[in-house]
């Protein structure tokens, strides 16, 4: 719950009150202590720059453990960079990408795929954030027409921006459909770990084994300070990644610090423990709000997010204590996100606040 910080209690260099909690984004959480430890351990001495370091070599080994041999990996700074880089490697200059209307590349990257990547996005409305072969075909047409950007790739998000999750069979159906039409498949995996935790299958089961050609593997939303990894699961489908990464300003000189964080995630299962906990906290929140009259959940809770509609004015009053975002302001739909460090107490305090505000609303409506 948001509280007023006492400046006298701040330790040296701290400018915030660590007791403040929120449900706005899994980017709000800090860095997992094990990741901070890994960064400190990687800090001593000198290592070759631009990826020729021991940590980046070890990261490649760990990614091969999860996805199989023959892959190529490219650590980058952020998710937008990972997505643009991945899509650029799949497409010629005249290529277009079919995606869901709610996709992050369409809604939340400020035109980066178009402006930086030079990529036309062909977006399709979906009820739950998930594409299907039938939905893809709404925009997968016009090959050979010089007046139309050529649909040569599909991008899906796992988990979706609406918190829903593709099953391995659903990904395979999309991959087979896309490949049969000469298209390639990209997966935006900003919350890939949350999907694996929900599905209870290995990472490769719904990525490489399901036909995904290239993957943006997210870390920032799962306890990293910064960093994602572009994983070419089918290197024959991706071209020029080593050059495109530099052109897109995503090549880190001190890459060991990006790689060391992912090593901390992948070596002993921290990625899955953190994602499983975030999912469990969202499930706890969902189970509670399902019992509260006046809260109308709008999507399945299959990862670490809960989407719901609240009565008029309730969200704004709630935000006086807990920060969160509107998803569809016109429909009064909000999004509540849980993180690796969300506690049961955080959830229970938030649920209690929801009950209080709805009681106030209901009392006002009755008068």
CA angle (79, 83, 87) in 5-degree steps: 170
**Three-state DSSP class for 367?**
coil
Verify that 13 and 77 share a domain, yes or no: no
* One domain for residues 56 and 37: yes
Residue 350 resides in a domain: yes
Given 238, 266, 294, the domain boundary residue is 266
Number of domains the chain is built from: 2
Q: Report the phi/psi class of residue 184: left, alpha or beta, with left for phi > 0 and alpha for psi in -120 to 50.
A: beta
Q: Does a structural domain hold residue 140?
A: yes
Residue 31 phi/psi, 5-degree rounding, is -95, 135
CA 39 from chain centre, in angstroms, equals 22
Q: Which domain holds residue 53?
A: 33-266
* pTM, two decimal places: 0.94
Which of 244, 266, 288 is the C-terminal boundary of a domain?
A: 266
Following CA atoms 47, 49, 54, 59 in sequence, which dihedral angle do they give, to the nearest 10 degrees?
Answer: 140
One domain, residues 156 and 129 = yes
- Domain for residue 112, yes or no? yes
How many other CB atoms sit within 10 Å of the CB of residue 173? 17
367 residues of the chain, pLDDT tens digit each: 444 445 445 566 889 999 899 999 999 999 999 999 999 999 999 999 999 999 999 999 999 999 999 999 999 999 999 999 999 999 999 999 999 999 999 999 999 999 999 999 999 999 999 999 999 999 999 999 999 999 999 999 999 999 999 999 999 999 999 999 999 999 999 999 999 999 999 999 999 999 999 999 999 999 999 999 999 999 999 999 999 999 999 999 999 999 999 999 999 999 999 999 999 999 999 999 999 999 999 999 999 999 999 999 999 999 999 999 999 999 999 999 999 999 999 999 999 999 999 999 988 877 6
Task: Enter the tokens of residue 173.
Answer: 């159906």
Q: Can you give the pLDDT at residue 120?
A: 97
Tell me, yes or no, whether 37 and 21 share the same domain: no
Between CA 161 and CA 165, with CA 164 as vertex, the angle to 5 degrees is 115
42 and 155, same domain (yes or no): yes
Residue 1: its pLDDT value, please? Answer: 44
Q: Which two tokens stand for residue 182?
A: 């000469």
* Judgement on whether residues 47 and 172 belong to the same structural domain of the protein: yes
For residue 182, what are the CA distances in angstroms to 87, 95, 179, 191, 338? 15, 12, 5, 27, 38
Verify that 350 and 320 share a domain, yes or no. Answer: yes
Query: What are the helix (H) ranges across the chain?
Result: 33-41, 54-67, 79-90, 104-107, 112-115, 133-136, 168-180, 192-199, 241-247, 256-266, 270-289, 314-318, 344-366
pLDDT of residue 4: 44
Same domain, 233 and 308: no
- Whether residue 186 is contained in a domain is answered as yes
Phi-psi region of 200 (alpha: psi -120 to 50; beta: other; left: phi over 0): left
- 246: tokens are 């530099």
β-partners of residue 120 are 96
Cis status of the peptide bond prior to 159, with omega within 30 of 0 = yes
Pick from 266, 292, 327: which residue ends a domain?
266
Q: What is the DSSP string of 10-78?
A: PPTT--S-TT----S-TTSS---HHHHHHHHHT-SS---STT-SHHHHHHHHHHHHHH-TT-EEEEES-
Return the CATH number at 305: 3.90.1150.10
DSSP state of 271: H
Note whether residue 1 is domain-resident: no
C-alpha 64 chain-centroid distance: 21
In a domain, 2, yes or no: no
Co-location of 225 and 330 in the same domain: no
Residue 95, beta-bridge partner list: 150
> Residue 190 domain-assigned?
yes
* 155 and 285 co-located in one domain: no
Phi, psi of 354 (to 5 degrees): -60, -45
- On whether both 331 and 187 belong to a single domain, the answer is no
Find the CATH number of the domain harbouring 158. Answer: 3.40.640.10
Residue 64 domain flag: yes
Instruction: Note whether 289 and 346 are same-domain residues.
Output: yes
């Amino acid at each position: 719950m948001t509280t007023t910080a006492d400046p006298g209690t701040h330790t040296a260099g701290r400018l915030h009150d660590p007791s403040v909690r929120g449900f706005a984004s899994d980017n709000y959480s800090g860095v997992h202590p094990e990741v901070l430890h890994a960064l400190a351990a990687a800090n001593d001495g000198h290592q070759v720059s631009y990826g020729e370091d021991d940590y980046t070599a070890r990261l490649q080994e760990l990614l091969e453990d999860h996805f199989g041999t023959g892959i190529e990996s490219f650590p980058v700074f952020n998710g937008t960079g990972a997505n643009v880089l991945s899509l650029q490697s799949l497409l010629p200059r005249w290529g277009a990408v079919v995606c869901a209307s709610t996709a992050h590349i369409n809604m939340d990257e400020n035109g980066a795929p178009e402006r930086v990547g030079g990529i036309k996005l062909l977006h399709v409305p979906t009820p739950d954030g998930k594409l299907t072969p039938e939905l893809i075909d709404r925009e997968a047409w016009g090959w050979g027409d010089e007046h139309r950007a050529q649909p040569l790739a599909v991008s899906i998000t796992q988990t979706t921006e609406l918190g829903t999750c593709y099953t391995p069979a659903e990904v395979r159906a999309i991959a087979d459909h896309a490949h049969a039409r000469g298209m390639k498949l990209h997966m935006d995996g900003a919350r890939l770990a949350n999907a694996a935790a929900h599905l209870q299958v290995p990472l490769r089961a719904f990525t490489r084994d399901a036909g995904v050609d290239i993957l943006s593997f997210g870390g920032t939303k799962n306890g990293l300070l910064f960093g994602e990894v572009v994983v070419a699961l089918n290197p024959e489908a991706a071209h020029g990644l080593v050059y495109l990464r530099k052109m897109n300003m995503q090549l880190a000189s001190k890459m060991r610090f990006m790689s060391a964080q992912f090593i901390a995630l992948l070596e002993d299962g921290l990625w899955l423990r953190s994602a499983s906990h975030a999912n469990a906290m969202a499930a706890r929140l969902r189970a509670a709000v399902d019992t509260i009259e006046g809260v109308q959940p709008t999507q399945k809770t299959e990862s670490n997010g809960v989407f719901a509609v609240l009565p008029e004015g309730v969200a704004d009053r709630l935000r006086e204590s807990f920060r969160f975002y509107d998803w569809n302001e016109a429909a009064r739909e909000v999004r509540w996100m849980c993180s690796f460090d969300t506690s049961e107490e955080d959830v229970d305090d938030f649920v209690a606040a929801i009950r209080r505000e709805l009681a106030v609303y209901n009392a006002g409506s009755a008068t």
